[in-house]
Amino acid sequence: MSMATLPENRPLPGSATRTAPPLPTLEELGGDLLTTTPWQRRWALARPFLLVLCFAAAWQLGLWWLTPLVMFLLFIAIVTVTHDVVHGVLGLAPRQSEWGLFFLGALLLESGHAYRATHQQHHRVFPGPDDPEGDPARMNLWTAVLWGPLFLPRLWLWAFRRGRGSQRCWLLTEAIWAIGFPLVAAALWPVTKGPAAYALLAIVGSWVYPLLTVHLPHHGYGETPLTQTGTLRGLVIPRLFLELTYHLEHHLYPAVPSHHLARLSARLDPMLRANGVTPKWAP
């Protein structure tokens, strides 16, 4: 069992007055939930780079007002695929995963290796201590907003202090890139403003992570795995966010890739409703 995979058949801790049933195993839910086709893998990995090209094309054509929208879509694409790489569900070899984390993180001036270290820790211990990724869940709304500029540097420091050998080398390389690219972009300002605009949108965009990816999904968490996060359904929002709104389903079964979370959600519905879990709905 990988570090990021929770036991599928562990009993759910219930209250003192009842015992919750165990989670169904993935074999019971369907082994097809674990499949990733070559096309799905290639598209997931290529989509962020295509969006970077879209950003460059929009800027070059003078359509600067489109660039925030492209950057928004880029954030979603990278968060989704990096998430799947971290959990090892895209079928990449170990060396491919290392390079994937580097290049995907580099597109947003972030550290993919820091994210892997802290996200796996989040799955291991939440809602316990020593979970820098999960800390915003314990904050109020405005503190989570203000935490934005500190969030990624703090994750990097946590990962670096615990990293060893090659992992520290990856972390240092990613830090050099994250600092160096904005400096080069600033130097190029008299020639072209595109790289600086890209860097600014990437940096400021990352400030919403504590609010959107941690506080809102986990705030008000309960004591059992079924109440430690929520799930958001709908026709538009889940598709727009590439199924990342199925956060409860992901926490229960992190071995399921993002492109199967909607299907997993439908198969879990009877169990969730029987245990009093009411999904939230959006457009």
Tens of pLDDT along 129-156? 899 999 999 999 999 999 999 999 999 9
Cβ neighbours, 10 Å, residue 237: 15
Q: How far apart are CA 80 and CA 87, in angstroms?
A: 11
Tens of pLDDT along 69-99? 999 999 999 999 999 999 999 999 999 999 9
Instruction: Tell me what the mean pLDDT of segment 194-201 comes to.
Output: 97
Q: Which helix (H) or strand (E) holds 232?
A: strand 232-233
Angle at 263 between CA 1 and CA 206, to 5 degrees: 75
User: Worst-scoring range by mean pLDDT, 11-20, 134-143, 157-166, 221-230?
Assistant: 11-20
Strands 280-281 and 232-233: parallel
User: The whole model's pTM is what?
Assistant: 0.89
Q: How far apart are CA 281 and CA 259, in angstroms?
A: 19
Q: Domain residues of the chain, as ranges?
A: 35-233
Handedness of CA 62, 242, 251, 99 (dihedral sign): negative
Q: How far apart are CA 194 and CA 181, in angstroms?
A: 12
Q: Is residue 172 very low, low, confident or very high in pLDDT (cuts 50, 70, 90)?
A: very high
Tens of pLDDT along 25-60? 999 999 999 999 999 999 999 999 999 999 999 999
Tens of pLDDT along 201-215? 999 999 999 999 999
Q: Which residues pair with 22 in a beta bridge?
A: 11
Angle at 103 between CA 102 and CA 109, to 5 degrees: 85
